[in-house]
Amino acid sequence: MVARSDDTLQTSDAGTAEQSAADLERAEALALQLEVVRGASRRLVEPLSAEDCQPQSMPDASPVKWHLAHTTWFLETFVLEPALDGFIPFHPDYRVIFNSYYQTVGAQHPRPQRGLLTRPSLEDVWRYREHVERRVADLLRGGGIDETLCDVVELGLHHEQQHQELILTDIKHLFAQSDLRVAYDGAAAAPSRQAVADLAWRTFNGGTVRIGHDGNGFAFDNETPRHRMIVEPYALATRLITNGEYLEFMRDGGYETPSLWLSDGWATIQQQGWSAPLYWSRESAGWQLFTLGGMRELRGDEPVTHISFYEADAFATWAGARLPGEAEWELAAGGQLKGGNFAESRLFHPRPASPADRRELSQMFGDVWEWTRSPYTPYPGYRPATGALGEYNGKFMANQMVLRGGSCATPRSHIRATYRNFFPPDARWQFSGLRLARDS
């Protein structure tokens, strides 16, 4: 450094000390957040047996045990390994079997075969989690972590919250395969019934708008950079589409009318034999619905969920409308998180809209992820990070569609208006639903 004056040096030293104090304060806050997030994962697994945590019901899902270990592997690999001199992993084989898709880190166990990993045991995984969690906490509270590593810890905690949601959606899919129709949480109460308000619309003028994260607080890299877009005038439905409305689509031949479907969508429903949303079943007593609280009667007032992009798009076409673009959705949602039925409610199921909210936008956050018509592509000026963490989001920016708003399985502190979730257009095991849009 070039010394220009004693005053300059004193100011620089004071600034360094201030920055160091800020780093220590942030590290302590992250240590507390580490306890909260990791504790939330433990509570999610409490209703499950070791046997529940082992199987894998399909290639897109993972065993609960694997989720618990992988989120720990993330902290061990990207926080402890670069931070600790003479780092020794908890178990050298875990580097391969709990690596998801980070090619830069090394080899991975095949994703469709995660359910075959009977070892380590669930008990060993809990020991692994406790070991890594303790060392990360010691690192945060020991003053040996800089701003860059704090950023990685924060990313790791949001990464774990993503897997908390996957634990719920994956165990639901697993339990649905059993004739026993096992309930994950038998205490999860069904929401109270509501009169379904007529669908209302809220209009927006559009114009040149700015979307994307503004840099204030945490965001994933795919939410940046903030940029301008031209949005034409449009209208958005004030609530989500319900099971009752989706039943009307089905009764009107929605799954038998090719003109309603995108070509890939029509081919998919023919190949898969879809005639209703996932977890719906037609019984002698009428339509039944499998939930994380067990099997129960399908209710017309609840938001439809577990539908693919193809099904959401076909319904919108049938209704004389369309799906919103993600810029339209973000503009309508505004910058603030308002209300919402999230994982903390422990309903683990979408809740009906209140008729009192008929003329205002409701259910924008929580309940179900809302399919948009926007393909998952990089924002203008986007550049993935260098190294292994650059593989987190950017490598998936093809053949996926964007969803917005979070669901009843999403932790509240994990979501924001700029959050971009993404899945292939045929994905149905997530809590995904739809809101209509139209040109204005």
**d(C-alpha 26, C-alpha 32), whole Å:** 10
**d(C-alpha 103, C-alpha 391), whole Å:** 8
What pLDDT does residue 17 have?
46
> What dihedral angle (degrees, nearest 10) is formed by the CA atoms of 291, 294, 295, 297?
-70
**d(C-alpha 184, C-alpha 180), whole Å:** 12
Cβ neighbours, 10 Å, residue 60: 18
- Calculate Rg over the CA atoms of the chain: 23
Alpha helix (H) residue ranges in 222-363: 243-251, 263-272, 309-318, 326-333
What pLDDT does residue 193 have?
74
Q: Which domains does the chain have, with CATH numbers?
A: 18-176 (1.20.120), 201-439 (3.90.1580.10)
What pLDDT does residue 3 have?
31
User: How far is C-alpha 387 from the geometric centre of its chain's CA atoms?
Assistant: 24
- Identify the CA nearest to 63 among candidates 1, 4, 5, 116: 116
For residue 184, what is the DSSP state?
Answer: S
Which H or E run contains 4? Answer: none
Angle between helices 122-141 and 64-75 (to 10 degrees): 30
What pLDDT does residue 24 have?
86
> Average per-residue pLDDT in the chain?
92
**d(C-alpha 262, C-alpha 247), whole Å:** 20
**Cβ atoms of residues 267 and 326 within 8 Å:** no
**d(C-alpha 438, C-alpha 373), whole Å:** 12
What pLDDT does residue 154 have?
97
What pLDDT does residue 285 have?
85
**Cβ atoms of residues 109 and 116 within 8 Å:** no
Q: Which residues of the chain fall below pLDDT 70?
A: 1-19, 186-192, 335-336, 356-358
What pLDDT does residue 13 have?
39
- Give the list of residues 6+ apart from residue 419 with CB closer than 8 angstroms, or none: 219, 220, 223, 404, 405, 406
CA distances from residue 162 to 31, 156, 389, 394 in whole angstroms, order as listed: 19, 10, 16, 17
- Give the list of residues 6+ apart from residue 409 with CB closer than 8 angstroms, or none: 164, 165, 168, 169, 343, 348, 431
